[in-house]
Structure 1
């Protein structure tokens, strides 16, 4: 494990690093810049809203003064979806207006997802009300940091009385699936999940 790396709560000054980590890990665990040239698009869907709306559930691994990994999420997906639509989406809609037709490019697909937060409300996930996103730069993977981030997040959920958490991962990301299997997640059957596999576990 990198000796200088520490786990701590997210701070607003981590925003730049949060965005950078998201972009550099968003394509099946690798760099997404070739697919999504707007470097704020994916972070504004999968990272920043959580850090802003539920900062008490955001943690980072810091090494040499900069965040190199993070975990963010929500204790209650239904509440988060509502807040995303009413509190977050208005602030980004000018930059990312809703598509007027079916999305045809990777960017349009993501903008469409941004404008449909209700996609996260699946009945099969109702027993797993919390959900999370976790990302580490490749330089700091396989050193135990992901497990430490997850433990901090699960502990925070448990203290809130939340019994279970889920996540959706790209099915083809086999290294990520191996990690989640090691830390106790199991597959949640969801009809027609598209490119995603849904996983869940208890917080205790």
Structure 2
């Protein structure tokens, strides 16, 4: 079926959350890691549909008549990471904390490592290192369901993100990856992302002009 990109809306929340879960274990399904399957999306995908400091696009499958059938991917982010972090701290995390409380030390054995990571994050969201933001303040998250990977749509989605960030006045953007995600690393490097210096985590940056001038994803 044909695919196309469009701006995401709040009506896409369920699909975006599901895609985040199905790609949430270093690119593979994380369904087996969570009793509450919405948890990955609440951290890495759904906030971008709600917050004014973010932008958001979805990859949609349509039938031959152009009628939308399913959302099969998304690219979300912000052109100002610090503004997004502040927006989320004011408007996103506070309502979640009573619903997903950080467990007491004596109760932590009842949770998987993945669940503990997300509960800890909701309680105390990690801030991006300033050494990364000093290079590029803009960033993205991208995920596509496996049947639609390897067909050029990831590059097209990166191009849409690059155009958005360029329109917002920035010269580049970055992405953070799970160090176990070899396929993701290879993809980013192949389209022009370069390793960034970071005190924590693995980050890759993209020079927008160089990427757009290459014609990739056009």
TM-score by length of 2: 0.85
Matched, 1:68 2:80: no
Inter-partner Cα distance in structure 2 for 1:49 and 1:15: 9
Structure 2's unaligned 5+ residue stretches are 63-68, 210-218
- Match of 2:87, SS state, is helix
Q: What is the CA-CA distance between 1:120 and the residue it aligns to?
A: 2.6
1:123 maps to 2:130: yes
**Structure 1 portions without partners, runs of 5+:** none
Indicate the structure whose relative CO is greater, using CA pairs within 8 Å and at least 6 residues apart. Answer: 1
Does the residue aligned with 1:59 lie in a helix, a strand or coil?
strand
**After alignment, is 19-28 or 7-16 more displaced?**
7-16
CA distance in 2, matches of 1:56, 1:171: 25
Match of 1:14 among 3, 9, 12: 12
RMSD: 1.8
Aligned to 2:212: none
1:149 Cα deviation (Å)?
A: 0.8
Match of 1:80 among 48, 61, 84: 84
Give the conservation status (yes or no) of the 8 Å contact 1:23–1:43.
Answer: yes
- Taking structure 1 as the reference length, the TM-score comes to 0.90
Q: Deviations over 1:94-147 (max 9, x none)?
A: 211234449663201111122322x23312112210111100000100011111
Per-residue Cα deviation, 1:3-27 (whole angstroms, up to 9, x for no partner): 5111111122111110110000010
DSSP 3-state at the match of 2:189? helix
Task: Give the secondary structure class of the aligned counterpart of 1:34.
Answer: helix
Shift of 1:55: 8.0
Quick check: which has more Rg, 1 or 2? 2
